[in-house]
Amino acid sequence: MTKPLRVGVAGIGTVGAALIAQVAAQRAQLTARCGRGIEIVAVSARSKNKNRGVDLKKMKWFSDPVELAGDDSIDVFVELMGGSGDPAKTAVEFALASGKSVVTANKALLAKHGVKLAQLAEKSGVALNYEAAVGAAIPVIKTLREGLAGNSIDRIYGILNGTCNYILTRMEQEKLSFADCLKQAQDLGYAEANPAFDIEGHDTAQKLSLLASLAFGTKVDQSAIYVEGITSIAAADLAAADELGYRVKLLGVAVKTPQGIEQRVHPTMVRKDSSIAQVMGVTNAVTIDAEGINPITLVGPGAGGAATASAVLSDIADVARGVKAPPFGRPTAQLTSVRKAPMQRHEGGYYIRLQARDKPGTAASIATRLAEQEISLESIVQRHPKDGPSADTAKGSVPVILITYATSEDGVRKALAAVGRDKVISGRPQVIRIEKN
Ligand code: HSE
């Protein structure tokens, strides 16, 4: 039998510890599936003495991950440190340049330096695998790169951040505050070190940039993505969505349009009976619309130690088997630059919540401004609070909720700017895009 694959792991946090435990638990099965053993022979982390609940005694210890990356005692370097800068970047570059395959869960590194790292892997003839970087245990990278290698993809969209989906689910189901739900997500280990990264949509954007590259054969380009997070979502929006037959999800969407590729991350209204609306809690989901076949939706655990380690281990197994695909689905020379579709040209339905002056003529004035931009309304509801007039109502304003038919983003922005100038509303309008699904 071929010699065991010798693995070096840099970063032993929740994912690293789960990986070590999983390799031990699955030893016989992995050997049978890969035709050779998989052994973690070396590790690197910040603190040698921390108790991580796993036995590291038989593994060679490196305090410098870059040294581990270039060490001859390993065949594959697993990077679980995170971050787009050093030491992760230098360590991965060093491993690839010294002819070692790399497995990483690091979406930030790939979103920023993915193409250069793929070029380096290509030059050295080694693998650069990153299944864990998007959707943790969901095999979405392999699905796009291998399973759908023969299909043209029109659109890919998904719930790519467990923390945000957890928060929105808890707010909707338990009527809890945003802050309480975020705290719970942090306590459960779903959130990034800086949770602003999750709730402001950047984590989703990094993941979307990788999916878009795989789906459309473009260079990874996070700067081409329009990003809005979930911090402005209020209980009033979740309640209104529920009444109107929708749920609010933070979606990452990449879609082919006549103007180019539209890539966007924002809170989105999805119909309650759609597959994506059923996805609750920390669970992630990705829907792929490919030409000639019905949409494919993959659903699964998108964050947490065991879920992420599961994907890391599948990538290590590929290296053990000698399976190697181009990191972004085609040779890097074949990746094209993104032709970015401007967000102003986005077309779709919109949910708009306004705090409107409670006087005759207000609705007519708002409707006129929308009509000037050729925006057609599917519904308009003036929502008096169920428990009687609120303080706002007493002050002479009421919430008004509008649902538009498909229209342009530019038209909506112009119409709402005009409504603001008319002084018939107070505060900022809440706008949530509706995604067809
Ligand atoms: N903070 C991320 C999430 C972890 O909540 O989904 C997985 O990337």
Residue the block writes with tokens 């402001």: 200
What CATH number does the domain containing 430 carry? 3.30.70.260
d(CA 377, CA 366): 11
Q: What pLDDT sits at residue 189?
A: 82
Domain count, the chain: 3
Q: Is 412 in the pocket of ligand 1 (CB under 6 A)?
A: no
pLDDT at res. 348: 97
> Does 339 map to a domain?
no
Distance, CA of 412 to CA of 43 (rounded, Å)? 54
User: 149-166 as b/e, with b when 16 or more CB fall inside 10 Å?
Assistant: eebebbbbbbbbbbbbbb
385 has pLDDT over 90? no
69 and 114 belong to one structural domain: yes
pLDDT band at 358, cuts 50/70/90? Answer: confident
Cα distances (Å, whole numbers) of residue 212 to 209, 256, 335, 351, 394? 5, 10, 11, 26, 49
Same-domain status, 189 and 104: no
- Centre of ligand 1 to C-alpha 347, Å, is 29
Q: Which tens digit of pLDDT belongs to each residue from 265-314?
A: 999 999 999 999 999 999 999 999 999 999 999 999 998 899 999 999 99
Whether residue 424 is predicted with pLDDT greater than 70 in this model: the reply is yes
Question: Average per-residue pLDDT in the chain?
Answer: 94
The pLDDT confidence band at residue 190, using thresholds 50, 70 and 90, is confident
How far, in Å, from the CA of 197 to the mean position of ligand 1?
9
Q: pTM of the full predicted structure?
A: 0.95
Reported as a single tens digit per residue, the pLDDT across 204-241 is 999 999 999 999 999 999 999 999 999 999 999 999 99
User: 117-160 pLDDT, tens per residue?
Assistant: 999 999 999 999 999 999 999 999 999 999 999 999 999 999 99
Shared domain for 281 and 256, answered yes or no, is yes
Is residue 132, in this structure, part of any structural domain at all?
A: yes
pLDDT at site 390: 52
Given 112, 207, 249, 256, the catalytic residue: 207
**Which secondary structure element, helix H or strand E, spans residue 362, and what is its range?**
helix 362-372
Of 189 and 172, which is predicted with more confidence?
A: 172
How far is the C-alpha of 401 from the C-alpha of 380, rounded, in Å?
6
* Residue nearest to ligand 1 atom 8, measured at CA: 303
Best mutation site among 190, 207, 284 for ligand 1, i.e. most ligand atoms within 8 A of its Cβ? 190
Within a domain: 143: no
- For residues 11 and 110, membership in a common domain is answered with yes
For the question of residue 116 being annotated catalytic, the response is: no
427, containing H or E segment: strand 425-434
Same domain, 330 and 401: no
Angle between helices 305-321 and 27-34 (to 10 degrees): 30
pLDDT number for residue 392: 54
Q: Across-strand partners of 158?
A: 252, 286
pLDDT in tens, 61-86: 999 999 999 999 999 999 999 999 99
